[in-house]
Amino acid sequence: MRLRIGTRKSRLSIAQTDLAINAIKNKFPEIETEIVPITTKGDILLNTPLSDIGGKGVFIGKIEDALQSGKIDIAVHSAKDLPYLLSDGLEISAVLPRGDFRDVLVTMPQTEYNSQTAFTVGTGSLRRRMNFARLYKNASFANIRGNVDTRLNKLACGEYDGIIVAAAGLERLGITEANGWKFRFFDSDESMPAPCQGIIALESKSKSYVSEIVRSVTHKETQVCFEAEREIVTLLNGDCSVPLGALAIHKDGKVTLKASVDPNRVIFKASDISQIKQLARELVSQL
């Protein structure tokens, strides 16, 4: 059997697809795989804020079209880029073990800053802007688009004093401070991450033989967190225009779920994993 796996063309997307392939081949070594790189609308329109070109769906539209048409069998996504509705007949069949969910400020090593420093930060995320502005009152913000490497190049060229990215992306690309950067990681109390940040999602046609294969490689603990955070997104019809943060922690059969649309007010509550949807509804009712 040969499975065609669709993904965006960035170095991070390919690295995440390699992780998905390894998970599948570890369980089904006889399966052959082929990576099918796909250029999405979000990869082409790099000078326009996401909220102006369709939100998170711009990163998966063409990939889902390829799934529905049969050009690919599996799609690999950064779960935080998923819109709250998938295309008809498709499902997230599996998720891989979660990476580092934190946001991280990346600067040049010589850059010095504190809560009183005036400096410009590159990020297009309203959530990140609100979180960062609470910690650094004199910061200003400028939009930035492009993959991780593109953003780091813009930082190195002096277009920004710092940029905020997902720690998991740096982790999966093997980018560390040893590569000539300085990192400042934010815990969830400082900057609530985007829902499902750090999670890789595998999408396929619902009720297909491929979905059964993919479903068997899901990471169960991450799956619980993914479902809890996705439920928050669904209930709020959340997209990139909403400064929504959410984080689920799964431990000993319990889930602690945090959510926020205002960095000054975080709602959290714990429940049994069987009550995830009810837990999400209770949090959303208090946001």
In what helix (H) or strand (E) does residue 266 lie, and over which residues does it extend?
strand 265-272
Euclidean distance between CA atoms 236 and 181, whole angstroms = 36
Euclidean distance between CA atoms 134 and 117, whole angstroms = 13
Cross-strand pairs, 265: 262
What does the buried/exposed string (b/e) look like for 93-116 if buried means 16 or more CB atoms within 10 Å of the residue's CB? bbbbebbbbbbbbbbeeeeebeee
Cβ(241)–Cβ(253) below 8 Å: no
Distances in whole angstroms, Cα of residue 232 to Cα of each of 235, 260, 264, 268, 280: 5, 10, 18, 12, 6
* Sign of the CA dihedral running 169, 147, 34, 92: positive
43, 81, 103, 161: the catalytic one is: 81
Q: Which residues contact 80 (CB under 8 A, 6 or more apart)?
A: 166, 193, 194, 195, 196, 197, 198, 199
Q: Is 65 among the catalytic positions?
A: no
* Residue 71 amino acid letter: K
**Residues known to be catalytic:** 81
